[in-house]
Structure 1
Amino acid sequence: MITVPRGLILSLAALFSAYHVILALYSLGVPASPVPPLIAILLYAVATTMSLWPTSPARMSLWLGFFNVAVCIAVPLLVGSQLDGSVPDNGYATWYVAAVGTLMTITATRRRATLAWVGVAFLVAHTVVWAGAGALASMGVIGSVVWVVVAVMLARALAKAGRDARQYGLAEREATEWQAAQEAHLYERQVRLAQTIRLAAPMLRHIIAAGGALSEGQRQECRYLEAAIRDEIRGRRLLNEAVRREVMSARRRGATVTLLDEGGIDDLVGTDLEVVLNTLADAMAGTSASTIIARTAADGSGTAVTVVGLNSPDPRLSALGQDSDEEVDLWLEIPRAHHALGVAGATTRRH
């Protein structure tokens, strides 16, 4: 995209406006009195300077727009009061026609189109009343109106182009994010599929070789593998080699293990994640609970993972009709920060 420096545009507009001031000063001998034209020149210079101030925002302030309109009303009245409208040609003394057109063009360019129309409309009306409709062409009023029309059209076109560019940029970002999400899902599926194949392939080959005739121990091993594959889906980032090893060890001794990753540790990477997972593996290795549940904490919490270990109630007490609650063998909250791991959670036993 080709862009034009704002300073260059302001400089050209300032030079063009200064040209009108030079013409006005050059023609001061034509008006009956030079005082009103000098006041008009001063007003025009002030309005132009404020309208072209380098640090001003792109959209002109409302008060400045009204001031420009007031100047465009005052300048023709001041200069025209010292000229004879019936004269076919007042020469450069009618400099105010181009000056008003220039000031209103600047106003339109700075997104005050309505006020620009008001300014040139007064110029047209004043010229018709002061010198007649035929003077609209000879004095250059039509050219000033055309400048404003072009400025309004360009301002609207640039505004639309800016909106379209922002929309295209937003659409591009959304498309990029969607593509990244799809690539992440594809990578996740590939990782999970590779892990599943690594776990299940040896047993599947054995089943094929044995023709489906498996011993009870082998059938139980298949159940362990099925649970491990389920962990890869539901546990996701709660798994590393240490956790997988301890989960399988707990299941082999008869425990029920549930891993639930709900996205609470998606922001943990590298060493931070490994510390949390190794702490989880150590906690599972140190408990004899018959039911172990590990679950990620909510986003924004200081806790990364919560681990609960429960022991089943005593069947003898249940047979006698006595209530027996589950015993809490393990309750551990693993924090997200390294320095807090030394005081992370506590083991609670209840009988």
Structure 2
Amino acid sequence: MISVRTVLVTLGIAFTAYLAARGLLWTDPVPYPYVIVVALSLYLVTTWLCIFWDPRPQTPVVDEDGMLLTIGSHGPRILPVWACVLALTVAVLVPSSIAIGVGPESRDAPFGTWYLGGIGVLMTIVMVRRRPWVAWAGIVALAVASIAWMGPIDALLLGLLGSIVWVAVAQLLLMSMDRAARDTARLAQLQRAASAWQASQAVRQRERRVQVQRALAVAGPILTRTVATGGLLDEREKLEARIAEGALRDEMRGPRLLNDDVRTELDAARRRGATVTVLDEGGLDGLDDASLALIQAQLAETLKASTSERLYIRTSPDERVAVTVVGRSASELGLSDEDAVELWREIPHP
């Protein structure tokens, strides 16, 4: 499949070769033919170097917003400095060389004015290769030389105006391409952000469904019994209601601390009369399933061995400690807060 770049390169070569061929079709004798040939050769070599020179690899160029411009695999690469100097040299030397080579009588003949379009094409290529200041400097050099040799009116009518228009249009098109590339990059970022948001929402919805199902499994029977009896529950049913309420709080406040063993031990602690508080305040973010399972297993062992009447289970922001378990005795014993602490367990990160 023929790429757009191949088509543009082919057109550039054909156009520059056509303009150079015009410079060799002398319809009148010229005083310095060798000067013309050397100028044409320098022009062709420089133009084709600007077209074909494609250094690889090259660091991608971004704009002030960090967006990729249309270069590299997405567009033309930046022209090297030495090629810019060579192109400016051609823009300065070739017009005067051709004007001297063809003589005063033929300076407005087609073979004596080809450089007006030729240098315009070269500067257009330089502009496309992302050297706008060099391109406009070359146009200024072309304008000064052509006006000096044939006057402003003839220079403009014979091709100078067209060269200026070519370079200006090339710059506008390049700016439009860059704007389109930036818009495309921003759209891709927004699409990735939207996809990530949708994925996170899907995960949260799935987690909420699991929590709702677990809540219904825990509290459903006692809620059904409460409705059926009009709220007149016996002592056993009231205990079941309190245990269900605590289990629901655990699911909402510390779901990452819970597995089946931890839930079993929390239920056992509440059934023996203990008050249990579970809080996930951060610190477990980023842990994999194996690390969480190890922490949950140690938490279940701690709860199984505890006899405290009040249990406080909290995650820790400390880099070393994952979960802290504190057990306290009943307040009726008249002990100070420090003496009332009978269980202190710090579960470290795996």
Matched, 1:331 2:345: yes
1:79 equivalent in structure 2: 98
| Alignment correspondent of 1:281 | 300
- The residue aligned with 2:50 is 51
Equivalent pair of 1:310/1:329 in contact (CA under 8 Å)? yes
**Partner Cα distance (1:197, 1:266) in 2:** 27
Per mean C-alpha deviation after superposition, the further-off stretch among 78-87 and 95-104 is 78-87
Is the partner of 2:101 in helix, strand or coil? coil
- Are 2:91 and 2:138, in contact at CA under 8 Å, matched by a contact in 1? yes
Distance 1:113 1:13 in 2: 18
Structure 1 counterpart of 2:242 = 223
> How high is the TM-score relative to the length of structure 2?
0.79
**Counterpart position of 1:207:** 226
Call closer, same or farther: CA 1:328–1:90 in 2, change over 3 Å: farther
For 2:248 and 2:144, locate their aligned partners in 1 and report how far apart those are by CA, in whole Å: 85
Match of 1:340? none
Structure 1 residue 173 corresponds to structure 2 residue 187: no
Could you say which structure has the greater relative contact order, defined with CA pairs below 8 angstroms and 6 or more residues apart?
A: 2
Structure 1 position 270, deviation (Å): 4.4
Amino acid at match of 1:226: E
Taking the aligned partners of 1:176 and 1:323, their CA distance within structure 2 comes to 51
Give the corresponding residue for 2:147.
128
Secondary structure (helix, strand or coil) at the match of 1:258 reads strand
- In structure 2, relative to structure 1, the CA distance for the partners of 1:175 and 1:140 (3 Å cut) is same
2:258 counterpart of 1:259: no
* Distance in 1 of aligned mates of 2:311 and 2:340: 12
Residue 146 (structure 1) aligns with: 165
Let me know the Cα RMSD of the aligned residues.
3.4
CA distance in 2, matches of 1:316, 1:231: 28
In the alignment, structure 1 residue 163 sits paired with structure 2 residue 182: yes
Code of the aligned partner of 1:306: V
> 1:36 Cα shift?
3.9
For each residue in 1:188-225, what CA deviation from the matched residue of structure 2 results, as whole angstroms up to 9, or x when unmatched? 32222222111111001111222211123322321221
Q: 1:179 offset after TM fit, Å?
A: 2.4
User: How many percent of aligned residue pairs carry the same amino acid?
Assistant: 32
3-state SS of 1:213 partner = coil
2:276 aligns to what SS in structure 1?
strand
Equivalent residues of 2:309, 2:330 under 8 A apart: no
Supply the distance in 2 between the matched residues of 1:115 and 1:252 (Cα, whole angstroms): 85
SS in 1 for 2:152: coil
Q: Would the alpha carbon gap of residues 234 and 146 (structure 1) be closer, same or farther in structure 2, given more than 3 Å must change?
A: same
Moved more, 266-275 or 20-29: 20-29
Give, in whole Å, the separation in 1 of the partners of 2:302 and 2:46: 77
Is the contact made by 2:78 and 2:129 (CA closer than 8 Å) also made in structure 1? yes
Q: Aligned letter for 1:327?
A: V
- 1:16 Cα deviation (Å)? 3.8
SS at match of 2:54: coil
Amino acid at match of 1:332: E
Partners of 1:287 and 1:309 within 8 A in 2: no
- Counterparts of 2:334 and 2:266, CA distance in 1: 30
Residues 46/3 of structure 1: CA separation in 2 closer, same or farther (3 Å cut): closer
Task: For structure 2, list consecutive stretches of 5 or more residues without a partner in the other structure.
Answer: 57-71
SS of residue paired to 1:265:
coil
Q: Are the counterparts in 2 of residues 290 and 311 from structure 1 also a CA contact under 8 Å?
A: yes
In 1, the alpha carbon distance for the partners of 2:35 and 2:107 equals 21
Partner of 2:209: 190
SS in 2 for 1:293: strand
2:324 pairs, out of 297, 307, 317, with 307
Q: Give the alignment of 1:2-21 within 5 angstroms.
A: 4=3, 6=5, 9-21=8-20
Query: Following TM superposition, by how much is the alpha carbon of 1:178 offset from its aligned partner in structure 2, in angstroms?
Result: 2.7
After superposition, the Cα gap between the structure-2 partners of 1:31 and 1:3, relative to the gap in structure 1 and judged at 3 Å, is: same
SS in 2 for 1:32: coil
* Deviation of the 1:280 alpha carbon: 2.2
Task: Pick closer, same or farther for the CA change 1:82–1:324 going to 2, 3 Å.
Answer: closer
1:108 aligns with 2:141: no
1:8 Cα offset (Å): 5.0
List alignment gaps of at least 5 residues for structure 1. 337-351
Q: 1:316 to 1:183 in 2, by over 3 A?
A: closer
277-286 or 323-332, which deviates more? 323-332
